[in-house]
Amino acid sequence: MASHTPPSSTYEEAPLISNRFIVRATIAVAVLAAVTIGVNLAGRWIGQRLELAGHTTSTETVAVAIGEDALRLPENTIRFANQRRNGPAERLDLYLAWPRMQGYSEDDRSLFSDISQSSGLIFLQVTESVMSRDMSGRLEPIYSHLIEGPAGNAGHGLTLHRLRADAGYGGEVLLTAARPGMEQYVVRCILPSAPDKATSGDCQRDIGVGKDLSVLYRFSSAHLADWDHIDAAIMTFVTDHLVVRAAASNAETTGDTASNAAK
């Protein structure tokens, strides 16, 4: 029997990659490239925003009233954007580069943005006083009853006192220093096991300023050698930025007027 030979067209194979597939693949590659570029640009933008992280280089001043006191401060010294406004407030959070006692700037960007360098910052929290005594004033009536064991030499003119485990201070120690004609200097610290393990806020102290302000400030134990200079600088900084309430009220009114005019 004669074999049947199919038409030659039956054996013609379709191309492995069709023109339609090539077009679709080209479009997909183009879209992917566009997305990649977009992600890259967005990443850079987001990175820049994250690096700024709420900081501002603006030195425009804001007048803030806290209780019976008022402060006029550059915006770049105020940590949080929602606090950079004229008017009354319950508290202000500030940060300053030590020893220049200045707020955020491009020159100090890494100091404010890189946590590994943040030991060069001092953090302040300004509120209305809720206690009649600041930390120095609380030494005799409160802290002296919480101290146990012998005192030690902490260097830099400071004396170290250990606090009772049940005192609720979680491993903190009390450092004191005599000051001629003034109450003793008192600061609480969580001292690191090694100098290179110091954090940006392992020491804290509060002082009274103005009519009724409490200024709690935190700094790195790496700067304990400068304890007296830091304390004086904090007092000077806050005092220099105090204003009378009338001036603060005028600034608030001016700010409100300008805001209303812009609407």
State the pTM of this model. 0.75
Q: Is residue 10 part of a domain?
A: no
| pLDDT digits 0-9 by tens, 217-255 | 999 999 999 999 999 999 999 999 999 755 545 555 545
Please give the span between the terminal C-alpha atoms of the chain, in angstroms, as a whole number. Answer: 99
72 shares its domain with 149: yes
For 126, the token pair is 């300004």
151 shares its domain with 215: yes
Tally the domains of the chain. 2
163 vs 102, 112, 139, 173, 191, CA distance in Å? Answer: 34, 33, 12, 6, 13
243 shares its domain with 114: yes
Phi, psi of 59 (to 5 degrees): -105, 15
103 shares its domain with 186: yes
| pLDDT digits 0-9 by tens, 137-174 | 999 999 999 999 999 999 999 999 999 999 999 899 99
Q: Residue 92: give the domain boundaries.
A: 61-247
Q: Is residue 96 part of a domain?
A: yes
110 shares its domain with 195: yes
- Which residue from 113, 73, 108, 110 is spatially nearest to 93, judged by alpha carbons? 73
43 shares its domain with 82: no
Can you tell me the distance from the alpha carbon of 157 to that of 224, in angstroms, rounded to the nearest whole number?
A: 10
- Write down the residue that tokens 């005594």 correspond to: 133
Q: Is residue 133 part of a domain?
A: yes
Name the DSSP letter for residue 2. Answer: P
